[in-house]
C-alpha cells in the first residue's frame, strides 16, 4: 500500500484521537508514505497551540514532537511548490474547499502522478469527499 498521509489522519494518530487505530494500521502497513510539508506544519502548530492553551504539558508536547519527527524521517516529503499552488488555486469537486485542504488535494494529485497506486489517508470529511470526486482511493475505507 502506498499512502499520502493528510494532516487530519496524522494528527489523529499523534494525539490518539478517534480513528487513530485505523490510521496507525494504515501507516504501519504502508510500503511508501508521502506527505506534504504542510502536514508537518499543521501538526507542529497543533502541538504549539495545545501547549500554549495548557491542554498538554510541555513534556508531553516534546514527546509527541519527537514521535512525529521519528516517523516523518521515514516519509517522503513533498514540497509546496509552484505546481501545487497552481492546482490549489483551481476548483475541486465538492466546493467549497478550504485553502489548506486545497493544498493537500493538489499535493496528493501531484504525488499520484509520480507514484502509482497512491491512496489518500484522511479523516477529514470534506477532503475525503473531494478526493473521491477526483477519483482517488481514500483510506480508511
Tell me the β-bridge partners of 2: 32, 118
Please give the CATH number for the structural domain made up of 2-139: 3.40.50.1010
Q: What per-residue confidence (pLDDT) applies to 17?
A: 94
Q: How many CB atoms lie within 10 A of CB 81?
A: 12
Q: What per-residue confidence (pLDDT) applies to 2?
A: 97
Q: What per-residue confidence (pLDDT) applies to 141?
A: 85
- DSSP per-residue codes, 65-109: HHHHHHHHTTSEEEP--HHHHHHHTS--TTS---HHHHHHHHHHH
Q: How many CB atoms lie within 10 A of CB 82?
A: 8
SS3 content of the chain, % helix, strand, coil (to 5): 60, 15, 30
**Sole residue written with cell 514532537:** 65
Q: Which residues of the chain have pLDDT under 50?
A: none
What are 127-136's pLDDT values in tens digits? 999 999 999 9
Rounded to two decimals, the pTM is: 0.92
Q: What per-residue confidence (pLDDT) applies to 138?
A: 97
Residue 131 has phi, psi (to 5 degrees) of -65, -40
What are 52-68's pLDDT values in tens digits? 999 999 999 999 999 99
Nearest one of 7, 13, 3 to 42, comparing CA atoms: 7
Consecutive H or E run containing 33: strand 32-36
Amino acid at each position: 500500500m502506498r499512502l499520502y498521509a493528510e494532516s487530519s489522519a496524522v494528527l489523529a494518530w499523534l494525539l490518539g484521537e478517534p480513528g487513530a487505530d485505523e490510521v496507525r494500521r494504515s501507516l504501519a502497513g504502508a510500503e511508501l508514505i508521502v506527505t506534504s510539508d504542510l502536514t508537518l506544519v499543521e501538526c507542529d502548530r497543533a502541538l504549539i497551540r495545545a501547549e500554549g492553551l495548557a491542554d498538554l504539558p510541555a513534556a508531553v508536547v516534546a514527546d509527541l514532537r519527537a514521535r512525529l519527527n521519528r516517523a516523518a524521517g521515514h516519509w517522503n516529503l513533498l514540497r509546496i511548490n509552484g505546481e501545487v499552488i497552481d492546482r490549489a488555486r483551481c476548483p475541486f469537486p465538492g466546493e467549497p474547499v478550504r485553502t489548506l485542504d486545497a493544498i493537500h488535494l493538489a499535493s496528493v494529485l501531484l504525488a499520484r502522478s509520480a507514484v502509482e497506486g497512491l491512496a489518500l489517508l484522511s479523516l477529514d470529511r470534506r477532503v475525503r469527499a473531494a478526493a473521491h470526486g477526483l477519483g482517488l482511493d481514500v483510506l480508511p475505507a
